[in-house]
A and B are shown apart, each in its own frame.
Chain A
Amino acid sequence: MADEPTAAAAAPADSQGAAPVSDAAPDLPANEGFEPEIIVFACHYCAYAAADLAGSMRLQYPSNIRMIKLPCTGKLEVIHLLKALEAGADGVYAAGCLEGECHYLKGNLWAKKRVGYVKKLLEEIGVDPGRVEMYNMSSAMGPQFAQTARDFTARIRGLGPNPVRPRDGFTAHEVVVREMGALAMPDDADTPPSA
């Protein structure tokens, strides 16, 4: 798994235009000392592989990212996004395949609609809808994975801590993985259960 990259040296910008690597964006507006916990629901076929590629490329991205591997973002339910926030995640995003390239045809489009719906639910309760987002990438887009992680982390730093973060000693990642049960694929699983 590639969510804890080890290379400290900044990788050169590659042909796909990845920005120079840094944990902290230079223009952080506020909450500089705040380290958000960010849950990423990543599709097995694309974003998760892109994270692996980012690791192989020794690209660095914030360790704030905590990944949960799904067979497809189409399996992501509205309640999973809400539960992640309720469990204290400061931000949550789904990372699925490029539109039109879903392994299951339309799973990423369903996820996009559900993320949009969750934004509405959050507006209703006065939580900034920017705390949830949908991204698309292919398995070849390691630099974009890293850049997305940096961008989103910077956004959440700007928004500040989740106001309802519980103090029960569990990370949001632990709580969500526990509640999702078999739906969250083990990190070392190579094949989705249904494939």
Chain B
Amino acid sequence: MITAERKPFDEIYAMTEGHDKVLVAGCDTCVAVCLTGGEKEAEILAAQLRIKAKEDGRDVQIEHTAAIRQCEWEYLDAIGAKVEEYPLVLSMACGIGIQSMAEKFSPRLVMPAVNTNMLGMPQEHAVWLERCGACGECVIGETAGICPVVRCSKSLMNGPCGGSHDGKCEVTTPEKEDIECAWALIWERLKAQGREEMMLVNRPPKDWSKGSSGGPRKMVREEAKPV
């Protein structure tokens, strides 16, 4: 799923400056599952903003709403009437949802209340790990179901590098302690699968133009288009 983290409160609060009607819009799909931007979190942020505004003596009407998915026009229709009442919308959806809102309700001001950070999975309750870089050319069939693009710190296609020690990556920061070496994981699983020879496959430089480096991507399914 797409994961996101709420922006620092001060940054969000600064966005409301000069406005007297603000709508906090949650999205009840990916960002709700990662406990960042669903209806619950939108309600909490709205309450925080109201208390802060009252403290500051500001007369601001701050409410919240949530779309089932902010990234689809149909679901935006469902909250359209409410959105139209507010000149400023703080969207808690991922970057896709925020842009959909900004386009759908243009020229209304739609601002991001979260930072979208990755395509990840909950490894355990309340812990998410990056799993996909949407590179446009999946190689995990060759790498035992482990993505070297995002799980190797260097995105090496022919790993491991010399920085792999005891299954851990040499890259360590306080936020990213104990990163597992993707290529060590790949090796262990290839062994378990009896496919050790896959480690010897020499992968040529990856064609990054199929990913975000190739410019904005577009997907069309002609056979699925309405007639």
Contacts and interface: CB of A to CB of B under 8 A. Distances in A.
Q: Chain A, interface size: which category?
A: 10 to 19
Interface string A137-173: 0000000000000000000000000011000000000
Given A77-B40, A124-B9, A163 B47 contact: no
Contacts of B52: 125-126
B55 interface: yes
A103 interface: no
A8 interface: no
Contacts of A126: 52, 55
A86 B44 contact: no
Contacts of A85: 51
Interface in A123-141: 124-127
Nearest to A123: B9
Interface string B52-73: 1011000000000000000000
Contact of B55 (A82, A121, A163): A163
B117 interface: no
A78 interface: yes
A150 B47 CA distance: 28
- For the complex of A and B, 4 pairs with smallest distance between CB atoms: A164-B54, A124-B9, A125-B52, A82-B47
B209 interface: no
Given A126-B52, A164-B55, 12 more contacts: A79-B40, A79-B44, A82-B44, A82-B51, A85-B51, A86-B50, A124-B10, A125-B51, A125-B55, A127-B55, A163-B55, A164-B54
A99 B55 CA distance: 35
A79 B48 contact: no
Contacts of A124: 8-10, 48
A164 B50 CA distance: 9
Contacts of B28: none
Interface string A58-92: 00000000000000000001110011011000000
Interface in B6-56: 8-10, 13, 40, 43-44, 47-48, 50-52, 54-55
Contacts, number: 37
A94 B185 CA distance: 45
Interface residues of B, number: 14
Contacts of B40: 77-79
Contacts of B54: 163-164
Interface centre among A82, A83, A125 (most CB of B within 10 A): A125
Contacts of A121: 44, 48
**Majority SS at the chain A contact face:** helix
A125 B48 contact: yes
A125 B43 CA distance: 15
Contacts of A164: 51, 54-55
Contacts of B50: 86
Contacts of A82: 44, 47-48, 51
A62 to B, nearest CB: 25
A116 B48 CA distance: 15
A83 B51 CA distance: 9
Nearest to A124: B9
Interface string A21-42: 0000000000000000000000
A82 B43 CA distance: 10
Given A163-B54, A163-B55, A164-B55, A125 B44 contact: no
B206 to A, nearest CB: 41
Contacts of B55: 125-127, 163-164
A82 B44 CA distance: 8
Interface in B140-191: none
B14 to A, nearest CB: 13
Contacts of B8: 124
